[in-house]
């Protein structure tokens, strides 16, 4: 094949900088998501299949002790992390409080009462507090009062399940 | 993992990991020691602070 590159032409006598010569390889539909990262501020679609938008936070734990007449307030929160600090999230907290230092169903205090926990030993209130709600935060509180249990250990475990369109945008539990 | 040792005015101690806030009798801890521990070290720390297990044998549910 002839070489015309010294005068700026291809072997077919096309200019070296022509769009035809520099065209990109054809991309198949199935390759699209692996070859392109598309960014736009608005998408209109009649149907979208979005996956991987539900995440689990790390598990948070607390251990300690309290005695009759004392109360413990546990506050678990889910917070966006940089660079998405102003991103809202939709989240559900999962919580469990146990008497002792081991997560055993028989010794669960909240939200279930285990078979080894005497009725009346504890008083508990919990929920999302509208009083401090700022429209974006995800905070869940448990107020636990030791009514007649004596000196006991406590174990608290919490984890958030949340929806976000930015992976890894939240921390907490 | 980030570990907090919270010490309260009443003498109680709580060890937390993750984004948990603990108050005792409606008050914040007076001391908060922040450590970076692996899960095994957190467990060892907790075991060192366990109370005597409570006896529930005589309780009627």
Ranges of chain A whose pLDDT falls below 50: 173
How confident is the model at residue A173, as a pLDDT?
47
Q: Is A65–B13 a contact, with Cβ atoms under 8 angstroms apart? A: yes
Question: Is A112 part of the contact surface with chain B (CB cutoff 8 Å)?
Answer: no
Q: What pLDDT sits at residue A132?
A: 78
**Contact across the interface for A116 and B19, Cβ inside 8 Å:** no
B46 vs A contacts (CB less than 8 Å): 63, 101
Say whether the peptide bond before residue A17 is cis (omega within 30 degrees of 0).
no
B50·A153 Cβ contact <8 A: yes
The SS3 call for residue B47 is helix
The string of pLDDT tens digits covering residues A117-166 is 998 999 999 999 888 787 777 889 999 999 999 999 999 999 999 887 76
pLDDT in tens, B8-57: 999 999 999 988 999 999 999 999 999 988 889 888 888 887 765 555 55
- Residues of chain B neighbouring A113 (CB-CB closer than 8 A): 61
SS3 A15: strand
Judged by a CB distance cut-off of 8 A, whether residue B40 touches chain A is no
Give one DSSP letter per residue of A41-109, joined into a string: S----S-----S-EEEPPPEEEEEEE-TT-EEEEEEEEEE-TT-TT---EEEEEEEEEESSS--GGGEE
Assigned token pair, B23: 């108050």
pTM exceeding 0.90: no
Q: What is the pLDDT of residue A67?
A: 95
CA distances A4 to A1, A17, A20, A21, A22, Å, are 10, 13, 17, 14, 17
Exposed / middle / buried, residue B24 (Cβ in 10 Å: 0-12, 13-18, 19+): buried
Q: Say if the ipTM goes beyond 0.95.
A: no
B33 min Cα distance to partner chain A (Å): 14
**Phi/psi of residue A24, nearest 5 degrees:** -85, 160
Interface contact B23-A73, CB threshold 8 A: yes
CA distance B49 to chain A (A): 8
**Chain centre distance of CA A121:** 34
């Amino acid at each position: 094949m002839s070489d015309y590159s010294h005068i700026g032409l291809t072997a077919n006598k096309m200019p070296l900088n022509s769009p035809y010569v520099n065209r990109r390889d054809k991309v198949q539909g199935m390759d699209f998501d692996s070859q392109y990262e598309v960014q736009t501020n608005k998408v209109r679609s009649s149907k979208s299949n979005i996956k991987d938008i539900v995440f689990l936070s790390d598990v948070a734990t607390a251990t300690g002790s309290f005695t009759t007449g004392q109360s413990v307030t546990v506050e678990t929160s889910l917070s966006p992390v940089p660079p998405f600090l102003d991103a809202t999230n939709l989240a559900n907290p999962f919580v469990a409080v146990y008497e002792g230092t081991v997560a055993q169903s028989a010794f669960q205090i909240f939200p279930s009462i285990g078979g080894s926990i005497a009725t009346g030993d504890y008083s508990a209130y919990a929920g999302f507090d509208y009083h401090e709600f700022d429209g974006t935060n995800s905070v869940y509180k448990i107020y636990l009062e030791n009514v007649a249990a004596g000196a006991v250990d406590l174990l608290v475990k919490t984890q958030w399940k949340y929806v976000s369109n930015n992976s890894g945008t939240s921390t907490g539990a | 993992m980030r570990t907090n040792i919270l010490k309260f005015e009443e003498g109680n101690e709580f060890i937390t990991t993750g984004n948990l806030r603990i108050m005792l009798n409606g008050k914040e801890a007076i001391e908060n020691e922040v450590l970076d521990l692996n899960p095994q070290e957190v467990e060892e720390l907790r075991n060192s602070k366990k109370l005597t297990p409570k006896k529930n044998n005589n309780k009627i549910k």
